[in-house]
Amino acid sequence: MNVDATIVGGDVDWDDYDSLTVSTDVVQVPAGLRDHERAHIVVESASVRFRFDGGDPTATDGIQADAGDTIDLESQFEVAKFRVIRKDGSDSTLRIHAGMLV
């Protein structure tokens, strides 16, 4: 199912979705989503640290996002370069919607 939504920068066709488990190793957005121009990410269960410049975050360095926070990536570069790791002792789950500008 395709859902259209309006965000800053224009209309987006949110045409893809995936979940990502975040643990002690740095992970990226799943490969099938990396060519999208937008991503809306919800942190579900535990705090994470992320970067979207291609560098690897650590448990103590990077932008912190806590359970319930959202992360909006607003270019294909940011989506492709997004990296994330868990912050503390518990794994986290990210729910990711990805889309293309229309």
Q: What domains does the chain contain, in order, with CATH numbers?
A: 3-101 (2.60.120.10)
Interval 19-59: pLDDT, tens? 999 999 999 999 999 999 999 999 999 999 999 999 999 99
pTM, rounded to two decimals = 0.88
Nearest-10 Cα torsion for 34, 36, 41, 3: -140
- Using alpha carbons, list the distances in angstroms from residue 37 to 44, 49, 59, 84: 23, 22, 27, 18
Interval 61-72: pLDDT, tens? 999 999 999 999
